[in-house]
Structure 1
Amino acid sequence: MSAVTVPVRGASYRWVILGIATFAQASASFFVQGIGAISAFLERDLHLSTAQIGLLISAAQLVPLVGLLVAGELLDRYSERWVVGIGTLLVALSLLGGSLATGYVSLLLLLIVVGTGYSTAQPGGSKSVAQWFDASQRGFAMGIRQAGLPLGGALAAAVLPYLAGEMGWQSSFVAGGLVALLGAVVFIGFYRAPETAAPPRPVSQGTSIRSELASRLRMIRDPAMGRIMLSGVSLISVQYGIQVLTVLFLHDEADLSITTSALLLFVAQCGGVAGRIVLAAWSDRCTAGRYLPVLVCMSAVIAGLAVLVLVPLHSVVLCGILVTWLGFFGFGWYGPWVAYVAESASPEKTGFALGLAMSVNQIAVIAVPPILGLLKDATDSYTPGWSLLAAMTLVALLATSWGSRESATRPSA
């Protein structure tokens, strides 16, 4: 793919774009990524099982299974300013409505609506950064922007348990709604497309939407997209496994308080913020291509999960070191991964490529939390869940590392 060239006039505005895209991502993901931090409160106050908690976390990820594809197509046709801004606004309004929910079913329904708006945040912010930064800085910029997701989750892990403990779990929905509202206002107010951005792409006369969609879906057959999907599904499973199980696991197995367990989830999310920036910056300079950092993340995650299963965790320090490691690689992988996705498609198809890859990830995002919950409830142990995540990642590592040897350079359109 040819490098994006930003004109000298206004070129410094790309850093403003990076800042607001990161802020919008953190705002939209604040509650969605942080709901695991209040899982113990929801479990206690609503008398829920671990499987029900997992399903609750999956609810906000249900619509993006299709919504990411729709959002990706919208981003290729309309300004990111309005697609992302309106989507984040919908997240805000839905979460504010969630504070009025009276029970588990109503919470599920409202979180499904949250997912509709949340679908625009990931591909929209990624395309914004991809348009403003050329290849020499794209990974670093994408890493900073993608750090917004664990940053939002980290802030939520620090704030939401306190609010839930002091004022009830409903207050955490209000906080999430207000944060998302601020993100929507900032993005709509400050985002502008670069002067060299490709104009919106209308459907060509004589070309049906159906045939155009079929043409785009042929990207699935590309070897680079195959690696993207396998690695993405395995690593997103680990990421959500950490979010769903960490607080409960540390509370039950390491005999830590709910507050301390939530604080360690915050530590893991902070590790993810650092990982997304550091690993993505490395991918800009990695002579073996952007995919090598992804392979390193898979290897590191397998090692961390093995320690989690095999080593008794009765020390807060040991728990902190382990969750930091898992956070750095288990969340940090997304920086180089999404840069790899952005460079795997031609400029006019970047939005759809991002939406396609992320929508495949959504299958795991939806399925993994309740599956892990069911395994815990059925076996009364966290070991099967952690072992499943390690096995999935090992299979993906073996399958994609072999393919990457045949394409060690960065993908081109």
Structure 2
Amino acid sequence: MILTLLVQALVSMSTVAIPVLMAVAAGELDVPSSSIGIFMSLIYLGATIVAPVSGYFIDRFGPIGVSQICLVLCALGMGAISIPVIPIMIIGAFIMGIGYGPVTPASSHLLVRTTPYTMMSVVFSVKQTGVPIGGAMAGAIVPHLIIFLNWKISAILVGLSGLILGFSLIPFRKHYDTERSDLSRFSWKNAAGSIKMVVLHNELRRIVIASFFFSTMQLCLISFIVVYLINDVKMSLVQAGIVLAAAQGGGIIGRVLWGAMVDRGTGPRLMLGVLGIAMAAGAIASAAFSPEWPFSGILIVCTLYGAAAIGWNGVYLAEVARVAKPEFAGMATGGSLFFTFAGILIGLPAFSLIIEKSGSYPLGFGIIAAATFICGIALLLSHKSRSSKN
């Protein structure tokens, strides 16, 4: 589990570093700060394309081998991001997405083989804390790197950290990549099959739809909170980075806590429904920020906001792996992440467009809050319906 957590953290750090870097780079590149959403969407375009075929790569190269490839691709993407030429940066963001997509299916494939059923949610939640840990590292470290160096060198250093981890995983392949097969063949038909599996599965369909909107909420928080706090609330880059790190810290605590609660008897749909409503409340509270708010108040709100909006993934992914048979865990996770990443791919440009046309970050947060609130209510009703049948 430590290995999967480290991989998740370094890949996440690379991804979350983008909005921090772009908060500074946008001026030099002469692009609006809302263009952060476009770059993040390009990352998730790559992830959306690759996630459904992750099962093939896992069968062919093994989960550790796939993790190494992902780390190398993210490092290459960060290298391209460091070059202040928009077309090259666009290619870099897309390459990072190709590296980001298979990371979670690979780790799920590895853990589902070794995790007791009764500990599935908490183990997957702990593994998924790598995502907010990496995000917290990006929020706490990257602003200082930018100040002491510059945004271009900072991007290169973030990429190098992932490259170093990728090479350090070589000795572990012999132990963990024992089930890989040279006979595995790539097929888009299999990719479509992983998506079809999720869509037709009654137990998964509703939470997968909810994940579409939950992931949009999560990335709107991660991608726009820094530039929102700098532009509208008049914070410094370092202060805004601390708030981002606090939101990610809330996500770390939330992922473990919500996973433990599910393993102790709380229904997964009940938990996801409550979190949908909670993240909507966090978005509405964040929309009310102003320069008059005390820094401590913003810190508390964003920590709680992050606990819901960043903390839901572990429960979701554990439920996907639990419902699917162990041998299909990677395939089911890849199929479900197609819709999760698609939410980001569609939602972030929509959020950017709302900000660009209206000039209002609070309006954008309010609209996505309404969507996640509706999803939360739907999941609560689903849980109640299943409970009454049982």
TM-score by length of 1: 0.86
Look up the match of 1:125.
107
Say if 2:316 is the partner of 1:337: yes
Q: Which whole-Å deviations, capped at 9, do the CAs of 1:49-82 have from their partners, x for residues lacking one? A: 1332211122221111120011133324542121
Letter in 2 for 1:38: L
Please give the secondary structure, in 1, of the residue aligned with 2:323.
Answer: coil
Letter in 1 for 2:40: I
Please give the secondary structure, in 2, of the residue aligned with 1:61.
Answer: helix
Q: Residues of 2 paired with 1:297 and 1:277: CA distance?
A: 14
Q: Which whole-Å deviations, capped at 9, do the CAs of 1:73-102 have from their partners, x for residues lacking one? A: 332454212122222222223323433x23
- 1:305 paired residue among 259, 278, 283: 283
Look up the match of 1:325.
304
Q: Determine if contact 1:76/1:348 at 8 Å carries over to the other structure.
A: no
Say if 2:49 is the partner of 1:71: no
Letter in 2 for 1:306: I
Moved over 4 A (4+): 191-195, 197-204, 208-216, 310-313
Q: Residues of 2 paired with 1:188 and 1:31: CA distance?
A: 21
Look up the match of 1:112.
94
Q: Which whole-Å deviations, capped at 9, do the CAs of 1:113-136 have from their partners, x for residues lacking one? A: 121122221211122122221112
Q: Which whole-Å deviations, capped at 9, do the CAs of 1:21-42 have from their partners, x for residues lacking one? A: 1001111121112322223202
Q: Determine if contact 2:198/2:336 at 8 Å carries over to the other structure.
A: no
Look up the match of 1:395.
374
Q: Residues of 2 paired with 1:302 and 1:219: CA distance?
A: 26
Q: Determine if contact 1:98/1:110 at 8 Å carries over to the other structure.
A: yes
Q: Residues of 1 paired with 2:209 and 2:240: CA distance?
A: 31
Q: Determine if contact 2:62/2:179 at 8 Å carries over to the other structure.
A: no
Q: How does 1:12-411 map to 2 (within 5 A)?
A: 18-76=1-59, 78-99=61-82, 101-190=83-172, 216=194, 217-286=196-265, 288-310=266-288, 312=290, 314-408=293-387
- Once the two structures are TM-superposed, the CA of residue 223 in structure 1 deviates from its matched residue by 2.0
Q: Residues of 2 paired with 1:404 and 1:22: CA distance?
A: 30
- Once the two structures are TM-superposed, the CA of residue 308 in structure 1 deviates from its matched residue by 2.4
Q: Given the superposition, is the C-alpha separation of residues 402 and 73 from structure 1 closer, same or farther in structure 2, using an over 3 Å criterion?
A: farther
- Once the two structures are TM-superposed, the CA of residue 404 in structure 1 deviates from its matched residue by 2.6
Look up the match of 1:8.
none
Q: Residues of 1 paired with 2:385 and 2:173: CA distance?
A: 39
Letter in 1 for 2:46: V
Letter in 1 for 2:55: G
- Once the two structures are TM-superposed, the CA of residue 368 in structure 1 deviates from its matched residue by 2.2
Q: Residues of 1 paired with 2:61 and 2:386: CA distance?
A: 34
- Once the two structures are TM-superposed, the CA of residue 330 in structure 1 deviates from its matched residue by 0.8
CA RMSD of aligned residues (A): 2.6
Q: Which runs of 5+ in 2 are unaligned?
A: none
Q: Which has the higher helix share?
A: 2
Letter in 2 for 1:168: N
Q: Given the superposition, is the C-alpha separation of residues 94 and 340 from structure 1 closer, same or farther in structure 2, using an over 3 Å criterion?
A: same
Moved more, 73-82 or 323-332: 73-82
Q: Residues of 2 paired with 1:43 and 1:210: CA distance?
A: 37
- Once the two structures are TM-superposed, the CA of residue 210 in structure 1 deviates from its matched residue by 7.0
- Once the two structures are TM-superposed, the CA of residue 174 in structure 1 deviates from its matched residue by 0.9
Q: Residues of 1 paired with 2:210 and 2:8: CA distance?
A: 22
- Once the two structures are TM-superposed, the CA of residue 325 in structure 1 deviates from its matched residue by 0.6
- Once the two structures are TM-superposed, the CA of residue 387 in structure 1 deviates from its matched residue by 0.9
Letter in 2 for 1:98: I
Letter in 2 for 1:315: P
Q: Which runs of 5+ in 1 are unaligned?
A: 1-17
TM-score by length of 2: 0.91
Q: Determine if contact 1:20/1:186 at 8 Å carries over to the other structure.
A: no
